[in-house]
């Protein structure tokens, strides 16, 4: 899907107090960045930010890192976060937006960062065989996450794509993760509190069931 350019995004992000364009400067020091020992949760591919803005504003005792590589998306996330936090009258002290290519995630995180949870919501399914290694749930990506995901840390995964979901279960199991729970219909089997993304709302309106799982690092 082609993302429409947002000419204002660059300037607004440059002036944003909770945005980092080069997150590699905090590699191994994310707990120092937040100046506390609260758990860190990471969303890879935050899109327009509706999910992370709602989640982070509800859980001030958790630090959130929301990552995307597209400037327009980050700009929209920034606006949605500001709006949600302003509605609740709270500061954005527990959230940071970063520009990051997930394929180079180890340029941004290492074993000292100790992330408690990773969210992967409606990532690109990359259905063609030669492109499947680019999936955010592919085994080679999971091995990268294991570097900084704490023992018994969790990955929450949601998708509309049947093939991606089935093959992702294999990826998780082959990489030594334990599937704690899974469902082929998140509306029917609510395995975790569901904060819908823009894509999720669209898929549900089309009658598409949302597949979801929780995987634990063993």
Which residues form the domain of 163?
9-217
**Per-residue pLDDT at 189:** 96
| DSSP line for 100-160 | --GGGGGGT--TTS-EEEEEEES-----SGGGGGGSTTSHHHHHHHHHHEEEEEEEEEEES
Confidence of residue 3 (pLDDT cuts 50, 70, 90): low
- For residues 186 and 3, give the distance between their C-alpha atoms in angstroms, rounded to a whole number: 27
Establish if 3 belongs to a structural domain. no
Confidence of residue 4 (pLDDT cuts 50, 70, 90): confident
Establish if 4 belongs to a structural domain. no
Percent of the chain with pLDDT strictly greater than 90: 94
**Per-residue pLDDT at 2:** 55
Q: Between the CA of residue 186 and those of 30, 113, 130, 170, what are the distances in Å? A: 32, 31, 30, 20
Establish if 1 belongs to a structural domain. no
Q: What is the mean pLDDT of residues 137-149?
A: 98
Single pTM value for the model: 0.95
Structural domain total, the chain: 1
Question: What CATH number did the domain enclosing 37 receive?
Answer: 3.40.50.150
Given a cut of 90, whether residue 143 has pLDDT beyond it is yes
- For residues 109 and 99, give the distance between their C-alpha atoms in angstroms, rounded to a whole number: 13
Q: What is the mean pLDDT of residues 96-117?
A: 98
Establish if 143 belongs to a structural domain. yes
**Per-residue pLDDT at 82:** 98
- The answer to whether 96 and 20 have CB atoms below 8 angstroms apart is yes
């Amino acid at each position: 899907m082609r993302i429409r350019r947002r000419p204002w995004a660059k300037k607004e992000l440059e002036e944003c107090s909770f945005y980092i364009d080069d997150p590699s400067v905090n590699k191994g020091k994310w707990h120092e960045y937040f100046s506390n020992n609260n758990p860190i949760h990471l969303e890879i591919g935050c899109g327009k930010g509706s999910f992370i803005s709602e989640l982070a504003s509800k859980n001030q005792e958790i630090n959130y890192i929301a990552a995307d590589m597209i400037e327009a998306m980050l700009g929209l996330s920034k606006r949605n976060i500001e709006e949600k936090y302003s509605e609740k009258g709270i500061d954005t002290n527990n959230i940071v937006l970063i520009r990051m290519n997930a394929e180079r995630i180890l340029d941004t995180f290492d074993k000292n960062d100790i992330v408690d949870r990773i969210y992967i919501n409606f990532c690109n399914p990359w259905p063609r065989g030669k492109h499947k290694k680019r999936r955010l749930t592919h085994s080679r990506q999971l091995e990268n996450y294991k570097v900084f995901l704490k023992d018994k840390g969790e990955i929450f995964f949601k998708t509309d794509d049947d093939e991606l979901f089935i093959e992702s279960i294999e990826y998780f199991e082959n990489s030594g993760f334990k599937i704690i729970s899974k469902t082929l219909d998140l509306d029917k089997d609510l395995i975790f509190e569901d904060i819908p993304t823009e894509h999720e709302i669209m898929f549900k309106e089309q009658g598409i069931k949302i597949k979801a799982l929780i995987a634990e690092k063993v």
